Structure 1
């Protein structure tokens, strides 16, 4: 089964502003270069109930999907990913206990469920105790059988830039993009 909106690779770029974190979701061209803007997301800082809306363009004329916390300030909070009509298309949550050493998230969607974790324990420790702006880190999401679902890799740069690779065609682009943004936003990068 192929997801309604399957995209095998895209980029996430963060732009920091005074009151919001802004994320651009950019298509990857076949040669690996950056293509067109697919969505723009904004996260309000200091919100009691986390919500991120993705828009179709930089003018924010049309919301196209988003994610929202189920509860206010909860360490194991779950987040519903919804389409432009508010219908659920996926779910993810941070596993607080498992994240003490390496950040760990669980993800679900139509036809799949899996877990994602930081690949390197050493990088996870460095990331927690230092503020190295160009530190690379990598999250690998696998299904319950260990098969790869998707991965998000932070590039070594001063600005947050991620490459998201989605080998599993069951993964809806909107779910992968929501999780990729959440990995940055929820870990206070």
Structure 2
């Protein structure tokens, strides 16, 4: 379950559905997970399945509060019913560069996700307002995000790949990490991708 993975992993959004569904596949094109965000919910509700058939639920990610600037997202292991971890956005600090904290099942913050370059978001907002040119910004304005532990050691990097609709992201592991922490980081990234995509 989200271990022994062949990196990089591709997060690829489906453009044929109204909901924000996407596949996660490994370097060889093998399924890692299928992610489905429930529509028309006041609080974010995301289900992680083993594949697109949606027969086996692996994890559930739910917002702890109704729409809130500092909302946090509880990650639950669907097989055990236990809380697996938590992702929380750093409110005001994320206005310039997106920042998220990743905590384990005991609420202990272990990792942070940081957007690498805040200027890309600013430029994307400006260029996006220009007719025709704005449609193509997804080809040359692509943010990246890095996961670090509390000591500043880098473990993962997620990059938005050039595409017309911003539908593909790629996750690479920089150094080895414990299996349970690896799953926690991947789950946190998939929730973050949904949140950042909504923000533009």
**Higher alpha-carbon Rg:** 2
User: RCO greater where, 1 or 2, for CA within 8 Å and sep 6 or more?
Assistant: 1
* Residues 65 and 174 in structure 1, CA contact (< 8 A), matched pair in contact too: no
- Superposition pairs of residues 38-49 of structure 1, within 5 angstroms: 38-49=32-43
**How far 1:22 moved relative to its partner?**
0.8
Could you tell me how far apart the structure 1 residues matched to 2:27 and 2:146 are? 19
Q: 1:8 to 1:124 in 2, by over 3 A?
A: farther
Deviation at 1:38, TM superposition (A): 1.3
Question: Contact 2:11–2:25 (CA<8 Å) still a contact in 1?
Answer: yes
**Partner of 1:13 in structure 2?**
12
Q: Flag the 1:91–1:149 CA change in 2: closer, same or farther, 3 A.
A: farther
Paired positions, count: 182
- 1:137 to 1:93, Cα distance in 2 relative to 1, 3 A: same
Q: 1:21: Cα distance to partner? A: 0.8
Q: Which of 168, 193, 196 is 1:161 aligned to? A: 168
Quote the residue 2:117 is aligned against.
120
After superposition, give the CA deviation of every residue in 1:38-65 in whole Å (9 maximum; x if it has no partner).
1111113442110110111211111111
Is 2:54 aligned against 1:60?
yes
Structure 1 stretches of 4+ moved >6 Å: none
Structure 1 partner of 2:94? 99
Aligned-pair Cα RMSD in Å: 2.4
Q: Is residue 27 of structure 1 aligned with residue 26 of structure 2?
A: yes
Partner of 1:32: none
Question: Structure 2 regions of 5+ residues with no counterpart?
Answer: 129-136
Range with greater deviation from structure 2 (45-54 or 173-182): 173-182
Structure 1-normalised TM-score?
A: 0.84
Between Structure 1 and Structure 2, the one with more strand by share is 1
Determine helix, strand or coil for the equivalent of 2:54. Answer: coil
